[in-house]
Amino acid sequence: MPDADRTIEIEGLRMRYGAEDVLHEVNLTAHRGEVLALLGPNGAGKTTTIEILEGFRLRSAGRVTVLGIDPAHGGDAWRARIGVVLQSWRDHAKWRVRELLTQLGSYYADYSTHAIQRPWDTDDLIAAVGLTEQANTRIARLSGGQRRRLDVAVGLVGRPEVLFLDEPTTGFDPHARHEFHDLIRRLARDRATTVLLTTHDLQEAERLADRIAVLDHGRIIAEGTTHELTTRIAGHDEVRWRYDGRAFTETTTDSTAFAFDLFTRYGREITHLEIHRATLEDAYLDLVRRTEETTLEVAS
């Protein structure tokens, strides 16, 4: 029996272009209300994976379901339940923001259910993505960051149950990025929206994702929470301090508790305390380096 909480299921996914395999036995699951970040270098297969899940590309082999449906056979009712934010798209430059979103929203009205009323109210959606002042502006006159906010609004207009975000905050200023992160957290928390995110911004992944999967050379090479990946791959935190004129260094899995214990025992005699925590970036770069080294060894 399928687990209704699993909104995305991938088993043994393979994709081949000509004689080249770009995805190799990929296995991945996402649950309702979860934000899952898919990380990896350029050419790793992230966009191909997302396009297969969205139903835009046919896979070579494997089992894939989104909301219990094979994307290769998803009809209009299924598409009304997903939202897609592409890296870029050809918009309608002469349309105004409110006009476009109202028109797009009208396509979803027939797919409302007792649980979800589609589409999202246009003005509420415009406010949610921070475009209220540009609601009557022609799309051609929007700045790059404003156009990217409109991309996000287009993906959200149907109140999706699963949202695919491919590099969503490219061109956002820090304030807009912060507001966008808040919006995604609310969607996941309050509406149980599943979010699959690809990004090269590791801080964004660290802030948003409940779980992270790293894809490289077409394979999932690591999966887990930020804490699990940094602890397992990048190693422990490093604590440095001075006591009684001497310098000390210690590695630990819990630098906060370790520092608290130091001050409990020695108080103000502890000086020059420094804590260097392992980061997602450390873990990610280490993973990619190891994979590259292994690939070069096999090739040689």
Whether the model pTM is above 0.75 = yes
- Interval 29-86: pLDDT, tens: 999 999 999 999 888 999 999 999 999 999 999 999 999 999 999 999 999 999 998 8
Q: What percent of the chain has pLDDT over 90?
A: 46
Which pLDDT value is given to residue 35? 96
> What DSSP letter does each residue of 262-278 carry, written as one string?
HHHHHGGGEEEEEEE--
Torsion, Cα of 104, 110, 113, 119 (10° steps): 20
Question: Which of 59 and 275 is assigned the larger pLDDT?
Answer: 59
The residue type at 271: T
Residue 140 has pLDDT above 80, yes or no: yes
- Interval 103-119: pLDDT, tens: 999 999 888 887 788 89
165 CA to centre of own chain? 7
Question: Which of 202 and 213 is assigned the larger pLDDT?
Answer: 213
Ordered domains of the chain (ranges, CATH): 6-228 (3.40.50.300), 235-299 (no CATH)
Other CB atoms within a 10 A radius of the CB of residue 85 amount to: 20
- Interval 205-231: pLDDT, tens: 988 999 999 999 899 999 999 888 887
Residue 1 has pLDDT above 60, yes or no: no
Residue 91 has pLDDT above 70, yes or no: no
- Interval 282-294: pLDDT, tens: 788 777 777 776 6
Helix (H) or strand (E) holding 284: helix 280-299
| Helix orientation angle between 144-156 and 97-106, rounded to the nearest 10 degrees | 20
